[in-house]
């Protein structure tokens, strides 16, 4: 007999004419399954199902037969047993199989039980008889076991069933039951071992989280201590420095008598050094206040022309090089701004003083322009100085970073990082362009009206729209943190202080990702998620929930539609940046 990949091979048949045949059918089914490579559990399941069905066939029809076949296409071969009888058939077959039809105890459950034991179960019943097909999937390579000797062995097995001793069959069945019980006990022991390992792992994870939380709390404490130290020491340093400046001013003004030229030069050096140190202390103090969230924005209305007039007067003493001109552009027709005037002056003063410091000849030009598309005012400070190399341009806004250069005059490297933080605090941004040897341009971009988010810059049809982030939180300090991180990553940012304004902003701006707080007035985060899900236009926007709450299982179920859940105390620049990049890449 040849064996092909696609097969229906009749291995043999045996009749059902007496009770001993039912026992023999069970034994033969197990032994044939063993020859074809089924494991012990598969053998027992098939033999038990065959026993149930052949017992029914003999009981209700009086006789029948069992055909042993291999069916299917490689590699999905099955060992199939057809139990055929010529009885009266089964009435209400569907009710029997569904378990709806009731029988006396111990009867009527054979078909249902057999169907659960095998991989495939088919039954056809009519008044002329019933055919039941029981099939078990064979392991890969089973046909290779069906050699000529194996076929002869199966044939002899099916032909020599007469005279089967029921006691031997009972012993074999008991052995199968004992093997099944042993296997079950081993599985239970393995499950208990795995549960023990899982409990130990869970305890380790809990301990690790506890340790991480403790470390995070320590880091927060260190950060708070650093901020308090900087704030306290900055105040302590300013008092003697101001005294040094005041006393040196008296000497320069010759209040107590004349100075010779050498003494005047020495006093000027003292004043210059004290003023430089005072500037550093002021920067440290301002930076500590920003990090601690203690800097408030005090918006007032002012004109850009008034800002330029104030800067022109206060920066005139810095013009010590006659080869450099400080120029201011026209600002008469620019709109009136609502912002923190003193912080705007502080940022521009830093830009201008740096430009004067690093420009040997030429000019420093201060200008402002209105960008209606972004509803913003752009202040620019352009110089003809030494410029900044491309590889160093990304360092200038990092704290305590300085670019080496022949005109470097000390400092802490805090001025530009502070300007960036102050700009972000006012809802704006700073940017710089430069070319080594050809000068630099620093720009401050602020909304015309404080509290109004900067619109995305207009783009040509060939330029894709910049990614936008919507930050929804009633806590201004946390909105500032997320805005800072997102803008540093190159994303445009809109803000909303409550759920209702968040929904309005989402409809108008269509952000690429939403950072959502849960506890907010008017409409909380759960309500925002629900309304977003109900809107066909907004349901696809990824939402990252940022909360300080400890969420219950029910609350986590309500947040199933969120893209991610982040605890506020775990927020980090790298983590959120990676999360935003992953979301943007997925949408792209």
pLDDT in tens, the chain (588 residues): 444 445 688 889 999 988 888 888 888 998 899 998 888 888 888 988 898 899 888 888 888 999 999 988 777 789 999 999 988 888 878 777 776 655 544 455 678 888 888 989 999 988 889 999 999 999 887 888 888 888 888 888 888 755 455 656 665 666 666 666 677 777 788 888 888 888 888 888 888 877 888 887 777 777 666 666 665 665 566 667 777 777 777 787 777 778 888 887 887 778 777 776 776 666 666 666 555 555 667 889 999 999 998 888 888 777 778 888 888 888 878 899 999 898 898 899 889 988 888 888 889 999 999 888 888 999 999 998 888 887 777 677 765 555 555 444 444 556 788 788 888 888 888 888 888 888 899 999 999 988 776 765 544 444 456 688 999 998 888 888 888 888 888 888 899 988 888 898 898 888 999 999 988 887 888 888 888 988 888 888 999 988 887 777 666 666 777 888 888 877 777 778 888 887 877 665
Q: Are strands 492-496 and 468-472 parallel, antiparallel or unpaired?
A: parallel
Name all contacts of 271-276 with Cβ < 8 Å and 24+ positions apart: 271/244, 271/245, 274/241, 274/244, 274/245, 274/248, 275/245, 276/410, 276/411
Distance CA 21, CA 59 (A): 12
Count other Cβ atoms within 10 Å, centred on residue 179.
14
Give CA separation, 492 vs 360, 564, 577, in Å: 37, 20, 13
509 contacts 579 by C-beta, under 8 angstroms: no
Count other Cβ atoms within 10 Å, centred on residue 304.
23
Distance CA 440, CA 556 (A): 51
Distance CA 568, CA 516 (A): 11
């Amino acid at each position: 007999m040849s064996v092909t990949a696609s097969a229906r091979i009749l291995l043999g048949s045996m009749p059902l004419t007496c009770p001993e045949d039912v026992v023999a059918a069970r034994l033969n089914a197990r032994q044939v399954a063993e020859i074809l490579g089924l494991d012990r559990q598969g053998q027992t399941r098939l033999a038990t199902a065959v026993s149930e069905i052949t017992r029914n066939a003999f009981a209700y029809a009086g006789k029948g037969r069992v055909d042993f076949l291999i069916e299917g296409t490689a590699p999905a071969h099955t060992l199939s047993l057809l139990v055929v009888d010529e009885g009266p058939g089964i009435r209400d077959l569907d009710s029997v199989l569904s378990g709806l039809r009731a029988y006396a105890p111990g009867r009527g459950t054979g078909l249902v039980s057999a169907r659960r034991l095998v991989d495939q179960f088919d039954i056809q019943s009519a008044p002329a008889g019933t055919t039941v097909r029981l099939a078990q999937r064979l392991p890969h390579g089973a046909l290779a076991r069906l050699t000529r000797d194996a076929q002869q062995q199966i044939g002899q097995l099916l032909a020599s069933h007469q005279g089967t001793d029921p006691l031997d069959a009972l012993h074999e069945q008991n052995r199968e039951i004992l093997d099944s019980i042993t296997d079950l006990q081993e599985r239970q022991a393995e499950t208990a071992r795995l549960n023990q390992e899982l409990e130990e792992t869970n305890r380790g994870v809990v301990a690790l989280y506890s340790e991480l939380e403790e470390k995070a709390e320590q880091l927060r404490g260190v950060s708070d201590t650093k901020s308090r130290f900087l704030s306290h020491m900055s105040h302590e340093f300013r008092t003697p420095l101001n005294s040094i400046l005041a006393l040196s001013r008296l000497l320069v003004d010759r209040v107590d008598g004349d100075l010779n030229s050498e003494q005047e030069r020495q006093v000027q050096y003292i004043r210059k050094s004290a003023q430089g140190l005072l500037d550093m202390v002021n920067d440290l103090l301002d930076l500590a206040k920003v990090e601690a969230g203690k800097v408030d924005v005090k918006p007032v209305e002012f004109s850009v022309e008034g800002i330029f007039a104030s800067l022109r007067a206060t920066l005139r003493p810095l013009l010590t090089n006659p080869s450099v001109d400080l120029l201011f552009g026209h600002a008469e027709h620019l709109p009136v701004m609502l912002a923190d005037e003193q912080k705007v002056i502080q940022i521009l003063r830093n830009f201008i003083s740096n430009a004067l410091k690093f420009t040997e000849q030429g000019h420093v030009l201060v200008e402002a322009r209105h960008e209606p598309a972004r509803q913003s005012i752009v202040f620019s400070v352009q110089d003809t100085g030494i410029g900044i190399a491309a590889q160093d341009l990304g360092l200038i806004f990092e704290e305590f970073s300085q670019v080496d250069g022949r005109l470097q005059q000390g400092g802490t490297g805090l001025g530009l990082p502070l300007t960036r933080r102050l700009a972000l605090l006012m809802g704006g941004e700073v940017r710089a362009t430069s070319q080594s040897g050809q000068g630099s341009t620093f720009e401050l971009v602020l909304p015309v009206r404080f509290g109004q988010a900067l619109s995305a810059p207009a783009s040509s049809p060939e330029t894709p729209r910049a990614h936008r982030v919507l930050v929804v939180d009633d806590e201004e300090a946390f909105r500032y943190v997320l805005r800072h991180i997102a803008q540093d990553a190159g994303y445009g940012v809109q803000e909303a202080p409550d759920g209702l304004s968040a929904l309005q902003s989402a409809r108008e701006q269509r952000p690429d990702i939403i950072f959502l707080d849960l506890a907010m007035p008017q409409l909380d985060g759960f309500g925002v998620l629900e309304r977003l899900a109900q809107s066909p236009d907004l349901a696809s926007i990824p939402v990252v929930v940022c909360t300080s709450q400890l969420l219950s299982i029910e609350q986590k179920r309500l947040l199933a539609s969120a893209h991610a859940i982040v605890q506020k105390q775990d927020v980090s620049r790298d983590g959120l940046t990676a999360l935003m990049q992953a979301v943007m890449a997925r949408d792209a």
